[in-house]
Chain A
């Protein structure tokens, strides 16, 4: 733990002139075009955008699972060309190994690194303790609630001391209460470990609450529509979500996204559907619709 805490902040993500198209039977599908993003060491950055705009595509390219069609992804100046333990990832689908206990899941990265058993057991226990999961170390993931699974997923990704943490809608499947708790836990861990975080979500509140900066993407083919700094002070409390500052940021982001989601749905709904959609948007979080 101490070496992880002590290391000076690293993890500068730089995505330049990025575009990516998938091959399909009707020819290439342009998922993301002409995108530049960067995450400074120790920064928490979110990406929001309508469904299907290429958020996961972008994140998977940073993780090294996809190769950019054009452009370049670097972390601390090194070109990304394949997944690595330096970039931890948390997936929306709980991706714990069902055949490993909670502790064995957390140990996995350390095992891959060749750390001896007793040492990695101790490390895993410490980390699980920090996340309040020590009582569950011997449980198999199947027995855990969604929130606990995702907590283990985060701890597992952090266990190897990565420079950056990538999260793809990690709390999308959780209920509202659990999501709030998870956001607090993530913030705590991030502040402790001083690593860079790139966080994909479609929940605007979540993005504002967590981030130093938010990128808003356009409808497909995705590119960066706006970059919004979040000057809210830290530590952030749940009560801040009612502050005028927060609400102003929220309003701004919402209108940006609304334009894009309507564009994304435009082909199907035309004018007739528009009015009904607008009414619904007033009452509920836009995130439900996107």
Chain B
């Protein structure tokens, strides 16, 4: 075993039992590398492509390229970075972000708490489906932004109407996907549960709900995306705080670097929240994450 022994020098000392020595650090590292080669490659290419993007952005803005699109006033990456450094020390910027997050949290949570159970019940009870579905089908085609004037009339405070818009944006994707999941539940599984003695309530909890979970999480992911879209639009139109308002205000105040900073912040927040949902999905559906 000379090769292993040589590699082992890099890591902790291998046990000295000759028949089956535990793999050395070197072999383990090599194996890990082989197993994750594809992912490492993707990560490396991803990093390179991000750097290239920044570079192109830098070149376009420093040379103020005008080619159909005008880069004359577009801030450079360095300018944006400078305003980022300034912003993270500015409690006002942090408050914008916190307020947006709070609106998302409340609106989205409400949408999930209402949408998922409603979808489950509609999927199970025909009459409820027949009553609610037509209304939902019409309402869901109205973009949440179109609700802004109505929301302002409906709710006493601006804050409430913005949360309402966020709620609406995520509610319909969640409802529709939950319903879809319910319609795809394998009837054989329901039968299997029935002849193991399961009654209606248990079948709902033990079969319909877990069987729909993958689609519920698709709904939550889509819903989270639409929630951010709706929130930003609502904040730009009627807000006084929030990251959408910050971005729009930057334009009015001719703070061009802050426009890009706001945009990037929105992107990062959206990414973060969708990662959170994906993580929750892995926790709730362990049978799927082992793939």
Question: Which residues on A are within 8 Å of B, measured CB to CB?
Answer: 63-65, 83-85, 87-89, 91, 93, 95-101, 108-109, 112-113, 140, 142-143, 156-157, 160
Whose C-beta in chain B lies nearest to the C-beta of A60?
A: B191
A-B contact list, 13 entries, CB within 8 Å? A83-B191, A84-B197, A87-B195, A89-B191, A91-B191, A95-B191, A97-B207, A97-B210, A108-B206, A109-B197, A142-B290, A143-B290, A157-B196
Across the interface, A91 reaches (CB within 8 A) one of B192, B202, B210, namely B192
Contact A98 B287 (CB under 8 A): yes
Pair A85/B196 contact, Cβ less than 8 Å: yes
Interchain CA distance A142-B286 in the complex, whole Å: 12
How far apart are A167's CB and chain B's nearest CB, in angstroms? 12
Contact with A along B124-154 (1 / 0, CB 8 A): 0000000000000000000000000000000
A74 to chain B, nearest CB (A): 17
Contacts of B189 in A (CB 8 A): 95, 97
Known contacts A97-B210, A99-B211; A84 and B195 CB within 8 A of each other? yes
Query: Which 6 residue pairs of A and B lie closest in terms of their CB atoms, listed nearest first?
Result: A85-B197, A109-B196, A83-B194, A112-B197, A99-B210, A95-B192
Q: Given A85-B197, A97-B206, A108-B206 in contact, is the A140-B192 Cβ separation under 8 Å?
A: no
Which residues of chain B (173-191) have a CB below 8 Å from chain A? 186, 188-189, 191
- Say whether, besides A112-B202, A140-B290, A143-B290, A95 and B197 are in contact (CB < 8 Å): no
Assembly CA distance A112 to B197 (angstroms):
6
B121 to chain A, nearest CB (A): 20
Inter-chain contact A112/B198, CB cutoff 8 Å:
yes
Distance to closest chain A CB from B133 (angstroms)? 24
Closest to B287 in A: A140
Complexed CA–CA distance, A97 and B286 (Å): 13
Closest to B199 in A: A112
Asked if B99 is at the interface (CB within 8 A of a chain A CB), the reply is no
Chain B residues contacting A156 (CB-CB under 8 Å) are 196
Which chain B residue shows the least CB distance to A90? Answer: B192
**Set B191, B196, B210, B286: member contacting A112, Cβ < 8 A:** B196
The answer, among B195, B285, B291, for a CB contact under 8 Å with A83, is B195
> Does A113 lie within 8 Å of B197, measured CB to CB?
yes
Q: Chain B: which residue is nearest A92 at the CB level?
A: B188
Shortest Cβ distance from residue A199 to the other chain B in the assembled complex, whole angstroms: 16
Closest residue of B by beta carbon distance from A88 = B195
Within the complex, the shortest CB–CB distance from A197 to chain B, in Å, comes to: 15
Whether B213 sits at the interface, judged by CB under 8 Å, is: yes
Contact A89 B192 (CB under 8 A): yes
B191 to chain A minimum Cβ distance, whole angstroms, is 6
Chain B residue numbers with a CB within 8 Å of A157 are: 195-196
- Contacting pair A91 B188 (CB below 8 A): yes
